[in-house]
Amino acid sequence: MDERKELLEVLSEIREDVDFEDETELVSGGIIDSIDLTQIIAALDETFDVHITTGDIEPENFNSVDAMLELIHSCHMER
């Protein structure tokens, strides 16, 4: 399964009421809250084997699926 599809699956398990494919302001638009964000960070860590630091927890890193994929890739490159 490609990363994008896998990420969408993970996100839909956390918030099945959100169309993550089309949203570009998930955090800044208030679509996901701090509890959702905590669950997303834990799921990314587990699913993609990445370590997201407190410095990575910025709204722009979680506003869209593309932003989250970029974060995942940058975490893999930092290893």
Predicted TM-score (pTM) of this structure: 0.93
| DSSP 8-state secondary structure symbol assigned to residue 50 | -
What is the predicted pLDDT for the residue at 3? 95
Q: From CA 61, how far away is CA 76, in angstroms rounded? A: 15
> Per-residue pLDDT tens for 21-74?
989 999 999 999 999 999 999 999 999 999 999 999 999 999 999 999 999 999
More confident residue, 44 or 76: 44
**All residues at 6 or more sequence positions from 47 whose CB lies less than 8 Å from its CB, including other chains:** 6, 7, 10
What is the predicted pLDDT for the residue at 33? 96
Q: From CA 77, how far away is CA 22, in angstroms rounded? A: 27
Ordered by where they begin, the domains of the chain are 3-15+23-77 (1.10.1200.10)
What is the predicted pLDDT for the residue at 21? 93
Sign for the pseudo-dihedral over CA of 7, 9, 12, 14: negative
What is the predicted pLDDT for the residue at 78? 78
